[in-house]
Amino acid sequence: MNELSLEELIVSIVEPLVDFPEDIHVSSLEKDEQVIYTLSVNAKDTGKVIGKQGRTAKAIRTVIFAAGAESSKKVQLEIAD
């Protein structure tokens, strides 16, 4: 999966969870052997994306990590405050 489709995957996972889908922004930063995706949502939606005890965020990260497994770079997802 290429970077653009991983960004689209992140948006498609997060969009149904939030009240303000127009405020979803995903940026990527490529470092050595990894790609770091930063997810930014409306402040009112941050709790929904993180979930109770971080369960939703962990599930999203697991899916993104698995989707990026076919590339030679490690994929990481950060959720901006």
Q: Which domains does the chain have, with CATH numbers?
A: 3-79 (3.30.300.20)
pLDDT in the model for residue 22: 97
Q: Does residue 4 surpass a pLDDT of 70?
A: no
pLDDT in the model for residue 81: 77
Task: Report the chain's mean pLDDT, rounded to a whole number.
Answer: 92
Return all residues near 59 (Cβ < 8 A) that are at least 6 apart.
51
pTM for the structure as a whole:
0.88
pLDDT in tens, 64-81: 999 988 888 899 999 997
CA distance 42 to 6: 20
Q: Does residue 50 surpass a pLDDT of 80?
A: yes
CA distance 14 to 70: 22
Q: How far is CA 46 from CA 11, 20, 26, in A?
A: 14, 11, 14
CA distance 46 to 5: 23
pLDDT in the model for residue 55: 97
